Chain A
């Protein structure tokens, strides 16, 4: 298996632009997680899905952030409009069940100028 796939690996954009991050989980995994990693706040869970349904989005920082999972093999995290403080590494992870380990993708490094 190819593991969790994220695209793009790097994104540089200007403040106010829309940013879309993409994730393909491991085939057969029912859970998908989005994390953000910054120097100031460390690694934070933003939202997670079970069977394509958002279960907990309490970590989403504000309304500018939205996440979707239209099918079992694809999820997006969108920021609109983007701000410099959104600059971070965004990770996607997936797992096979509530009691299986999470497998992380390589991350997307986002820079908002």
Chain B
């Protein structure tokens, strides 16, 4: 069953803790993306990667970090430096660049108190 998996679906953390969100795909896609979604804000790009061991900052990268050690995996770490980390985080992948459709995972809803 091909697709993108994100785990967990819900995540709760205390303020000041780093937390890593998982994203795995078995679609053999080269490109992977992380978005943050807040009510009324649409999708805001955090980081993206088009090849293993390479990634670029998106529009709101501050307070986040990523790695791309394997083609299938693109984990996102929300650090304690992120001022408002509570949000819905979506991972996506595509066969290439913006000329191709993106496939989204089910998302992780992170709550930091």
Partners in one complex: no
